[in-house]
Amino acid sequence: MSKKVVVLGSINVDTTYHVDRFPQPGETISAKSKSSAPGGKGANQAVAAARSGAQTAFIGAVGSDSEGQYMLEALKDNGIDTRHVTIDKYHGTGTAAVTLDAEGQNDIMIYGGANQAMTPDMVDDIDDVLDGADFLISQFETPQEVALAAFKKAKEHNVTTILNPAPAHEILPDLLKVTDVIAPNESECALLTGIPVTDEDAMLKSAEYFQKQGVKHLLITLGSKGVFYATPNAHGLVPAFKVHAVDTTAAGDTFIGALSSQLENDLSNVADALVYAQRASSLTVQEMGAMPSIPTADKVKAALAEK
């Protein structure tokens, strides 16, 4: 039976500038090419969940502009329920300017627009999508107060909450109290806990830090080194798949969305679900663009079957 996943988060139109290298301060360089694609951390995560077979609904906001219509269609084309995407008449749809170098690394500038204008009252009527849901996911490209209101509602429906604290900044203590799983990368984890991610001992101390705040489960993505997980019952490191990355945009988002499509609510299968999520992410970085590069379940399973 497929998982039911709800994502609260950002919707952006990504414009990517392809360059040989990043410019130095004050330097002007030429882009080799430019491309646009649907994106935003929230939208990417929802698409990743949907393409891996989860029944997916989205909570967010777009402007009353052509970009907003474009993004709504992109979500609907992936079978995502968009009834709770608000059309904001006063703020434009979020946009991201991505600079991508020849090594596949990126720099991103984001205009929040309608994403940052979201307010807690926008989640007053989300009980219909939370009813029977397995997971509610949120990130930090929308206001934390909105995530807090939604997570509180999720707890009323016994929905497991997943917080992807990216981009990282100080977290509302009340939000951590209603977060079941927190999934930062290593730099975000260090910023949030004050504990540099140097070895397993440091990561276990990070898990203890979050457990004291009320978060039972920690997942730290470590790039090419894999993913560390710590639950009340177990901890370990799931290695990454070695691939040649051409564009790392949406790698983390694919990981979160794909994970939610496989994970049991009690995290009893966390190691297996992490292998699936890692494989999905490894496929994403081998393709260009954010949303266009996110793989389907068939592609992930075929890649997992390869020796």
State yes or no: 287 annotated in a binding site. yes
Q: Is 49 annotated as a binding residue?
A: no
Strand partners, 203: none
pLDDT for 51 equals 98
Per CATH, is 4-20+33-305 categorized as 3.40.1190.20?
A: yes
- Other C-beta atoms closer than 10 Å to the C-beta of 173 total 9
* 162 touches 256 (CB < 8 A): yes
Which pLDDT belongs to residue 307? Answer: 60
pLDDT of residue 121: 97
Helix locations, 40-143, DSSP H: 41-51, 66-77, 127-130
End-to-end CA distance of the chain, in Å?
28
**245: its two tokens:** 């990355």
Q: Is 206 annotated as a binding residue?
A: no
Q: State residue 108's pLDDT score.
A: 86
174 is in an annotated binding site: no
Give catalytic status of residue 125 as yes or no.
Answer: no
Query: If 0-12 CB within 10 Å is exposed, 13-18 middle and 19+ buried, where does residue 230 land?
Result: buried
Among residues 113, 81, 100, which one has the least CA distance to residue 13? 113
Q: Which of 143, 145, 237, 233 is nearest to 186 (CA)?
A: 237
Catalytic residue (one of 253, 266, 272, 298): 253
284 marked as binding residue:
yes
106-121 in b/e form (b: 16+ CB < 10 A) is bebebebbbbbbbeee
Cβ(141)–Cβ(9) below 8 Å: yes
- Taking only the tens of pLDDT, the chain with its 307 residues reads 899 999 999 999 989 899 999 999 999 999 999 988 899 999 999 999 999 999 999 999 999 999 999 999 999 999 999 999 999 999 999 998 989 999 888 888 989 999 999 999 999 999 999 999 999 999 999 999 999 999 999 999 999 999 999 989 899 999 999 999 999 999 999 999 999 999 999 999 999 999 999 999 999 999 889 999 999 989 999 999 999 888 887 899 999 999 999 999 999 999 999 999 999 999 999 998 788 899 999 999 999 998 6
